Amino acid sequence: MIVQQLASTVWDANLYLKFADARMRPALDLMGRLDPANGRRPGHAIYDLGCGAGNISRVLAERFTESRVIGIDSSDEMLAKARMQTPDKRVTFAKGDLAAFKPEAPPSVLYSNAAYQWLPDHIDLFPGLMRRLPSGGQLAIQMPRNHDAPSHALMHKAAEAGPWRDKLAGIGGIARVHEPARYYDTLKPLSSELEVWETIYQQALTGKDPVAQYTASTGLRPFLEALDPSERTAFYETYARMTAEAYPTRADGITLFPFRRLFIVARRA
Ligand SMILES: C[S@@+](CC[C@H](N)C(=O)[O-])C[C@H]1O[C@@H](n2cnc3c(N)ncnc32)[C@H](O)[C@@H]1O
């Protein structure tokens, strides 16, 4: 089953959604810091940057009932799913690359959950995003910062542990997310209020190879995509064995997967 799912070389919307609950919590924690007044600016829109299947875009629309919500993503598969699952006409989706994002309507909020870590040099884009906001508007970004965890180190260890070694040499996975203070220093000159914080979530996963399945839809993808189907299966199984040892299943069937995330909420001066 997992091997069939991994055969997709595009964003696998189904695999990603399997963990929607565990991933929804940080999205809501970020949303909790948004100012309701930013949902009541006539002619403005709340943007969900890297919206994926639109799960969070729909929650933004429920919470900010007077605002348009526009989801942007580069994946046709994710956008198709988002459109199919979103009957609310206040929520629209458009294809776009976050590296070259230009809003079609003036933004009151630029919100992004778990997307900018895919862009190298994403920090250089953030001042430009701030400048697109009106005074009082908010930039709200959440990114995983878990690259020091065993789940990430084991990707590289598994990459070196088989005949696929040469094909996987040099694959970096997700771009490094910097120290929190670096984002603070970058955004402070443009902000009237600025919060930067980290939370480590003790994610409670269930099922077979839960940590490997979790990362298969995110950080492990560049490794899987570099291999042909038979090698992909063997590589995945090697990685799954390693993660099962590092993250043992508890007596109640739960596997705890500690996961660090960085949050940034900046209000435009
Ligand atoms: C981990 S998903 C997060 C989806 C959604 N924000 C959520 O929290 O459910 C990351 C999303 O970022 C999108 N993405 C990655 N790089 C992108 C880029 N350069 N431009 C636009 N979208 C991008 C992917 O297509 C994917 O849908």
The CATH number of whichever domain residue 57 belongs to comes to 3.40.50.150
Cα 135 from Cα 171, distance rounded (Å) = 41
If 0-12 CB within 10 Å is exposed, 13-18 middle and 19+ buried, where does residue 84 land? Answer: exposed
**Domain that includes residue 246, residue range:** 2-268
Local confidence pLDDT in tens for the 269 residues of the chain: 444 444 444 456 666 566 667 778 899 999 999 999 999 999 999 999 999 999 999 999 999 999 999 999 999 999 999 999 999 999 999 999 999 999 999 999 999 999 999 898 999 999 999 999 999 999 999 999 998 899 999 999 999 999 999 999 988 766 679 999 999 999 999 999 999 999 999 999 999 999 999 999 888 999 999 999 989 999 999 999 999 999 999 999 999 999 999 999 999 99
The alpha carbon of 51 and the centre of ligand 1 are apart by a number of angstroms equal to 6
Q: What is the pTM of this model?
A: 0.87
One-letter identity of residue 86: T
Number of domains present in the structure of the chain: 1
Where does 26-116 show beta strands of DSSP type E?
Answer: 45-49, 68-73, 91-95, 107-113
Tell the residue nearest (CA) to atom 13 of ligand 1. Answer: 50
Contact 255, 206 (CB under 8 A): yes
Edge-to-edge strand list for the sheet holding 91-95? 91-95, 68-73, 45-49, 107-113, 138-144, 255-268, 191-205
CB 194, CB 184: distance < 8 Å: yes
Token duo for residue 76 = 């046709």
Return d(Cα 182, Cα 170) in angstroms, integer.
26
Supply the residue whose CA is at minimum distance from atom 4 of ligand 1: 52
Residues with CB under 6 A from ligand 1: 11, 23, 27, 50-52, 55-56, 73-75, 78, 97-99, 113-115, 118-119, 218
Decide if 86 contacts 54 (C-beta within 8 A): yes
Residues in the chain: 269
The strand pairing partners of 204, in sequence order, are 256
CB contact at 8 A, 24 and 45: no
